[in-house]
């Protein structure tokens, strides 16, 4: 009789214990809109009768266990570390994962972007573990020249993708292209996946109305400078200076720059057109999408963007998106997007005005949302389906 497959999954800062509890009780989670990756992992383990161990990055330590699953939230030391301390922390996290994999007697180790540096996973392979890297972000900045340290890291890491992994899960075409470029095409099999959503979360959502004189622009995500939030503030200030005060920016999310942004808004005296809502629950975000007209994703070129899920949620809400090629999601939903050059603040402002003034363009982009949204409901395109395909070949 074959031994039970044992899989360790290292994931980023996801609430895996809440996701597991909801999965066991067959109910939706309230912490995020997309279907948790850990939920998909639990489904795969159940389908394959595998024993699973999930380790998520967290600010606190917590662990639960039953006959099939061990689910752990593990505190990450020095969460604000940078420079050499960051690399030492990533090494330490990788060694802790290795210790857990040995103790758990895992056969397969799946590791998400950011859970450790990729080169650390060589140790897992040398010790006999089947390694599956799961890439959610691009490997380098698409529009920035590589620094010497970046080139060195890529040179060290590339052999994971060419020799020391069983397969590679990739979250976007941009990431897949970079893996191909890094390895000169000599890489392990790649499995591309989409982020998945439930239809019920977008059912009966208010359709955007142009009858109201106010045109609402929604930003949702981390409030950080490299996410483009201060670029949006400059656009809002420019609009007010031009006498355009019926375009309102709703800024939803938390982050290290939230308070500086609020202070800058207050100093500019435009609190009536630029509203910082802070962190919003899943239900509050549903309301924010429901009253918005468009969604903007102005990520700057100095951020290594993943498949920004806000783009998916905007499309599923039938709201056109304004973004640039910095965002890998663009190539999947281009018909419903107004694309602008990266880091071009004026172009972002012009795109907003075009959608506000040109109702035919707006309606064209809105209807296109319905054409491209089905891929985010299809379980066969999800992360779990990609992982299951890999495991069936091991």
> Is residue 317 a part of any domain in this protein?
yes
> Is residue 1 a part of any domain in this protein?
no
> Could you tell me if 125 and 222 lie in one domain?
no
Q: What is the CATH number of the domain that holds 306?
A: 3.40.50.2000
> Could you tell me if 154 and 269 lie in one domain?
no
Is the CB of residue 116 less than 8 Å from the CB of residue 91? yes
> Could you tell me if 184 and 205 lie in one domain?
no
> Could you tell me if 56 and 113 lie in one domain?
yes
> Is residue 126 a part of any domain in this protein?
yes
- Which ranges of the chain would DSSP assign to H, the alpha helix? 16-24, 37-48, 84-104, 121-126, 148-162, 173-183, 229-241, 258-268, 282-291, 309-316, 345-357, 359-372, 383-391
Please tell me the pTM assigned to this model: 0.92
Phi, psi of 320 (to 5 degrees): -60, 155
> Could you tell me if 135 and 248 lie in one domain?
no
> Is residue 215 a part of any domain in this protein?
yes
Nearest Cα residue to 351 out of 320, 373, 380, 322: 322
Residue length of the chain:
394
Element (H, E) at 189: none
> Could you tell me if 44 and 183 lie in one domain?
yes
> Could you tell me if 192 and 223 lie in one domain?
no
Is the CB of residue 106 less than 8 Å from the CB of residue 8? yes
pLDDT along the chain (394 residues), means of 10: 87 94 90 92 97 96 96 92 90 97 98 96 98 96 89 94 98 96 97 95 83 90 96 98 96 96 97 96 91 96 89 96 96 96 97 96 96 96 98 93
> Could you tell me if 27 and 138 lie in one domain?
yes
> Could you tell me if 93 and 182 lie in one domain?
yes
> Is residue 137 a part of any domain in this protein?
yes
Task: Report the C-alpha gap between 293 and 278 in whole angstroms.
Answer: 20
Which residues form the domain of 253?
199-376
Task: Report the C-alpha gap between 233 and 223 in whole angstroms.
Answer: 12
Task: Report the C-alpha gap between 97 and 387 in whole angstroms.
Answer: 19
For the chain, the helix, strand and coil percentages under 3-state DSSP, each to the nearest 5: 45, 20, 35
> Is residue 149 a part of any domain in this protein?
yes
Nearest Cα residue to 216 out of 208, 224, 228, 227: 208
User: What's the pLDDT score for residue 2?
Assistant: 64
Task: Report the C-alpha gap between 42 and 64 in whole angstroms.
Answer: 14
> Is residue 301 a part of any domain in this protein?
yes
> Could you tell me if 90 and 62 lie in one domain?
yes
> Could you tell me if 364 and 259 lie in one domain?
yes
Total of domains in the chain: 2
26 phi-psi bin (left φ>0, alpha ψ -120 to 50, beta other): left
> Could you tell me if 171 and 224 lie in one domain?
no
User: What's the pLDDT score for residue 79?
Assistant: 84
Tokens representing 371?
A: 């054409």
């Amino acid at each position: 009789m074959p031994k039970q497959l044992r899989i360790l999954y290292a994931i980023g800062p996801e609430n895996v214990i809440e996701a597991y509890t909801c999965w066991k009780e067959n109910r939706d989670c309230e912490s995020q809109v997309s279907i948790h990756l850990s939920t998909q992992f639990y489904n795969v383990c159940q389908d394959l009768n595998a024993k699973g161990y999930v380790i998520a990055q967290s600010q606190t330590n917590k662990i639960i266990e039953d006959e099939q699953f061990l689910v752990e939230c593990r505190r990450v030391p020095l969460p604000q570390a940078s420079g050499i301390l960051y690399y030492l922390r990533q090494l330490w996290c990788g060694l802790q994962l290795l210790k857990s994999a040995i103790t758990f007697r895992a056969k397969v180790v799946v590791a998400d972007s950011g859970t450790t540096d990729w080169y650390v996973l060589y140790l897992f392979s040398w010790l006999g573990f089947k390694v599956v890297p799961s890439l959610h972000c691009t490997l380098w900045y698409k529009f920035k020249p590589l620094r010497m340290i970046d080139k060195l890291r890529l040179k060290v890491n590339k052999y994971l993708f060419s020799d020391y992994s069983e397969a590679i899960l990739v979250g976007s075409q941009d990431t897949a292209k970079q893996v191909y470029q890094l390895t000169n095409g000599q890489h392990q099999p790649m499995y591309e996946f989409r982020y998945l959503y439930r239809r019920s979360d977008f059912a009966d959502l208010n359709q955007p109305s142009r009858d109201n004189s106010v045109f609402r622009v929604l930003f949702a995500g981390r409030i950080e400078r490299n996410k483009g939030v201060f670029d949006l503030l400059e656009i809002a200030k420019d609009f007010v200076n031009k006498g355009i005060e019926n375009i309102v920016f709703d800024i939803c999310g938390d982050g290290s720059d939230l308070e500086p942004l609020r202070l800058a808004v207050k100093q500019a005296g435009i609190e009536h057109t630029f509203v910082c809502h802070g962190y919003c629950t899943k239900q509050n975000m549903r309301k924010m999408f429901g009253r918005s007209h468009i969604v903007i994703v102005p990520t700057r070129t100095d951020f290594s963007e993943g498949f920004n899920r806000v783009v998916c949620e905007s499309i599923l809400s039938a709201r056109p998106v304004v973004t640039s090629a910095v965002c890998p999601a663009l190539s999947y939903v281009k018909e419903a997007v107004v694309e602008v050059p990266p880091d071009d603040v004026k172009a972002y402002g012009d795109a907003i005005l075009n959608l506000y003034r040109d109702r035919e363009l707006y309606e064209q982009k809105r209807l296109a949302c319905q054409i491209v949204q089905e891929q985010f409901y299809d379980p066969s395109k999800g992360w779990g389906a990609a992982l299951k395909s890999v495991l069936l070949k091991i």
